Amino acid sequence: MVKTPPFKELTEEQAKLVQTDWDYIKTQANEILYNFFEKFPGNQKQFKAFIGKDLDDIKDTPEFADHAEKIATLFGQVIENLAKDSTKIKELINDMGLRHKDRGISKFAFLEFREAFMDFLRFNVGGSLDGMQVCQSLYLQLQSMIKNVFYLGLD
In the complex, which residues of this chain contact ligand HEM (CB under 6 A)?
A: 43, 46-47, 67, 70-71, 74, 96, 99-100, 103, 105, 109-110, 113
As a whole number of angstroms, the distance between CA 152 and CA 128 comes to 36
Residue partners of 41: CB distance under 8 A and separation at least 6: 55
Nearest approach in angstroms of CB 68 to ligand HEM is: 10
Chain Cα centroid distance, residue 131: 17
Closer residue to ligand HEM in complex, CB, 111/125: 111
Nearest approach in angstroms of CB 148 to ligand HEM is: 14
Chain Cα centroid distance, residue 57: 24
Closer residue to ligand HEM in complex, CB, 11/42: 42
Q: What is the CA radius of gyration of the chain?
A: 16
Closer residue to ligand HEM in complex, CB, 41/153: 41
